[in-house]
Structure 1
């Protein structure tokens, strides 16, 4: 096993938070081997046994909430209060997954239909075995736990590779699980750089990979998974739009817009990056936005840019936006590493990089539209499809707009609210990825459907799947099918 190490740093101060192993191919293979053995024991516990242990884990995480939030703060730079919020959300997801796995995945009878009336049809969802999870740094507890908790509740063992920027958080999550479930290494963490994640993705004993990160990295992970036809869940980036319709509560819309765009220094995959405001409310919205954004301070209300390389992308987008549009707040001088002050630019052309590409920083572009339909068309004109927001005074129109947004999720008269609802699936489409975590869909994502049809009795004169079948038996079948399905509906 390798003895090479790397350090995690506090992005705000540059101080060393911790030192961690660069787990090599052998170390990853050993971890997967342990997980494979633990998975057998974990599956045999059944839903009731896993439920009890996951609720114990939830209690341990809750007990350590303050210490864990401090560690998140140190490795990401985000305020302790924001770290606390993401951990609370993660706790609610552990609870939901534990309590609902049996109901969602357990065996249930399904109808055999008229043709299968003599069959007892049963559907259930069985564990995959070992699930590999490659997590991000921006929400190092909440985001990976959306896969970890659901994979565990579905009966799988987990090997987790956290981001190299937040390895300590990943190690701590596994340590807390071992405290709650000391019997077997059902949940392990391996640390390292990108190659460690590649070792995990290429191991043929890993039956599914759940990845969160950039679209470009997701493609590389997919290539590694393809070697063994390992299925994958990909939760990638976004360029999420925020629509402000006529009749919207302007104060509430501005408050939500700023939180969605600036919280966590804009380092949120479902964060607000593009704002489209209908002409009727544009002036009051911009006036209020300008006043309110001036009260939000980098280093006080949100932390630094965690990944230093992202600063170059943010600066390039700000330079582009301010050259082609009009700066309302901030500009090129807003980038003062490791912080970026809030930047709001209006009238930026839709083909600009600052509108087309994910910025992942505390910046937004704002555009006036003649009506909500134009706002919707602009919102959907993107290769991404993760989330969106609609503020409107008309509930029906707001819901219509939310449904029509080409995204996996949408919030109405709130922002990012879907992430806090454990029963709602989370994921996107297009360049934002595929597959779902959270909710019933998230549980099924980490299980395999098993269908069983048991013949209860033979149907006289209907030997359809036999070489002894007679012509008159086929004629009876045709008559039944014609009676059931041969009439056109008017």
Structure 2
């Protein structure tokens, strides 16, 4: 990155920050109003593309979580809890209409806060709004179930909300993953206390502010803060009836442990080390493009990223040439500029983690065939990187890098491909490249992962459930059944005799 380009980018981002924050604050949002933290403390959120402060937000802690849970409980037991399915649906749909009017604003904030290309941020926000809308529409056909016990008995199942849902979301897709949780939690009739990641808190605040006058006060509350302060207070709170967390598996263990103390039901969407299996009959050019998208989209900061590319030995060399060519087309640049495909990593911490794993790959004996370098400048940019000849038992292949680093691993036959694909602690997502439909179905059945994409990557849609096997989590998001993640069943039996 040239000095001139870096200077221009910094000036462009400083101007964008000034415009995005003009006459705009990002406070805690509790009981339908803006609040400072009880402690009065704040912390800064920074633009990782230029390492410049965007603004400061309140540093919430246990006292603020208490206030938010109390407000959520009051709303659940009063106005929001009193609404029927249709009324809740209408409120959610009115909210999505308002959010769509602010897509450009939200996309700019998301890009500044995360470092991702603004065009990608806009697409993700549109998709997130679609999920909230989906759950609003889903309510119109939602009914209780009658059970045919006998002629003298009327029996049915009631599906009731838990009450107050605590939602904790990560920094890599702030609006999209928040929407995955907010849609079903609110549609099911719960009220919410949302804890966004401390490094990307801005769009969560705007989502809540844009619900003002549509959702009753206290229905959606937002508490900024750090994991060991606000996050721990939320997961340990006895007034929280349901927890949903997305993040790394080690933190998921802590959330699950905290939930167990209060016997709080929990949904966890955790890490991944997803395989992309390229069989010898695959369209290699298309497979290479898919592999590149699977690891370089969002700078590899995706829990479902295709971080392990498993390639049949007969097509390894031909595929690798195409993979390197595809990687070169993923242009690194200013997230606010059209045409940029690879923005900055989300933080200095994430940049240093990627650099560490590049060194691990080099030390392991794997061959660096593309990229491998950080990019000079004020922000946290890194080249798309490909290692070949990676040992599936190595740290590079087993541990989640969460960066633009691909590991290419050869296999000799179908059985070895499946064994390698499944030989990790995770099972969130996977991919298969083949022209043989029977082989695709066979591999989809044999791979231990919650999602299998065939000749594709990251094809999501409202109604298509997403979640993991093994250490990748518990429960499912995005599907119709996700409503039941936020509801509990009650059996009612009436003796008519």
Q: Normalising by structure 1, what TM-score?
A: 0.88
Residue number among 422, 427, 435 corresponding to 1:385 in the alignment:
427
Partner of 1:57, secondary structure, is helix
Q: Distance in 2 between matches of 1:19 and 1:197?
A: 19
Q: CA deviation at 1:353?
A: 0.7
- Taking the TM superposition and a 5 Å limit, the aligned residue runs for 1:115-130 are 116=150, 118-130=152-164
Which structure has the bigger radius of gyration? 1
Q: Deviations over 1:430-450 (max 9, x none)?
A: 211111111122110000011
Residue number among 117, 131, 137 corresponding to 1:93 in the alignment:
131
Q: Deviations over 1:143-173 (max 9, x none)?
A: 1211111100000001101000111111111
Q: Distance in 2 between matches of 1:456 and 1:283?
A: 74
Number of equivalenced pairs: 450
Q: CA deviation at 1:22?
A: 0.9
Q: Deviations over 1:181-205 (max 9, x none)?
A: 3x32211111111110111112211
Q: Structure 1 residues 452 and 288, CA, compared in 2 at 3 Å: closer, same or farther?
A: same
Q: Distance in 1 between matches of 2:366 and 2:479?
A: 41
Partner of 2:427, secondary structure, is coil
Q: Which moved more, 1:241-250 or 1:280-289?
A: 280-289
In the alignment, what sits opposite 1:376? Answer: 418
Q: Distance in 2 between matches of 1:203 and 1:99?
A: 32
Partner of 1:180, secondary structure, is coil
In the alignment, what sits opposite 1:413? Answer: 455
Q: Distance in 1 between matches of 2:116 and 2:372?
A: 22
Residue 36 (str. 1) matches residue 67 (str. 2): no
Does the CA-based 8 Å contact 1:246-1:393 persist in structure 2?
Answer: no
Q: Deviations over 1:120-156 (max 9, x none)?
A: 3312311111101011110000012111111000000
In the alignment, what sits opposite 2:269? Answer: 235
In the alignment, what sits opposite 1:423? Answer: 463
Residue number among 465, 473, 495 corresponding to 1:433 in the alignment:
473
Does the CA-based 8 Å contact 1:12-1:304 persist in structure 2?
Answer: yes
Q: Which moved more, 1:265-274 or 1:218-227?
A: 218-227
Partner of 1:272, secondary structure, is coil
Q: Distance in 2 between matches of 1:221 and 1:244?
A: 36
Q: CA deviation at 1:282?
A: 2.2
Partner of 1:178, secondary structure, is coil
Residue number among 75, 92, 98 corresponding to 2:113 in the alignment:
75
Q: CA deviation at 1:280?
A: 3.3
Q: Structure 1 residues 117 and 352, CA, compared in 2 at 3 Å: closer, same or farther?
A: farther
Does the CA-based 8 Å contact 1:174-1:189 persist in structure 2?
Answer: yes
Q: CA deviation at 1:12?
A: 0.9
In the alignment, what sits opposite 1:293? Answer: 327
Q: Distance in 1 between matches of 2:442 and 2:155?
A: 38
Residue number among 283, 293, 299 corresponding to 1:259 in the alignment:
293
Partner of 2:426, secondary structure, is coil
In the alignment, what sits opposite 1:306? Answer: 346
Q: CA deviation at 1:401?
A: 0.7
- Taking the TM superposition and a 5 Å limit, the aligned residue runs for 1:106-117 are 106-112=143-149, 116=150
Q: Runs in 1 of length 4+ with deviation above 4 angstroms?
A: 332-337
Q: Distance in 1 between matches of 2:73 and 2:140?
A: 22
- Taking the TM superposition and a 5 Å limit, the aligned residue runs for 1:147-158 are 147-158=181-192
Q: Structure 1 residues 15 and 312, CA, compared in 2 at 3 Å: closer, same or farther?
A: closer
Partner of 2:199, secondary structure, is coil
Residue 22 (str. 1) matches residue 30 (str. 2): no
In the alignment, what sits opposite 2:249? Answer: 215
In the alignment, what sits opposite 1:356? Answer: 398
Residue 192 (str. 1) matches residue 225 (str. 2): yes
Partner of 1:177, secondary structure, is coil
* CA-atom RMSD in angstroms: 1.7
In the alignment, what sits opposite 1:331? Answer: 372
Structure 1 gap ranges (5+): 458-490
Q: CA deviation at 1:373?
A: 2.8
Q: CA deviation at 1:226?
A: 2.6
Q: CA deviation at 1:349?
A: 1.2
Q: CA deviation at 1:333?
A: 5.5
Structure 2 gap ranges (5+): 1-37, 334-339
Q: CA deviation at 1:322?
A: 2.6
Q: Structure 1 residues 110 and 193, CA, compared in 2 at 3 Å: closer, same or farther?
A: same
Q: CA deviation at 1:403?
A: 2.2
Residue 447 (str. 1) matches residue 484 (str. 2): no
In the alignment, what sits opposite 1:485? Answer: none
Does the CA-based 8 Å contact 1:261-1:362 persist in structure 2?
Answer: yes
Q: Distance in 1 between matches of 2:348 and 2:489?
A: 43
Q: Distance in 2 between matches of 1:43 and 1:394?
A: 51
Q: Distance in 1 between matches of 2:55 and 2:70?
A: 27
Does the CA-based 8 Å contact 2:86-2:139 persist in structure 1?
Answer: no
Q: Distance in 2 between matches of 1:386 and 1:341?
A: 25
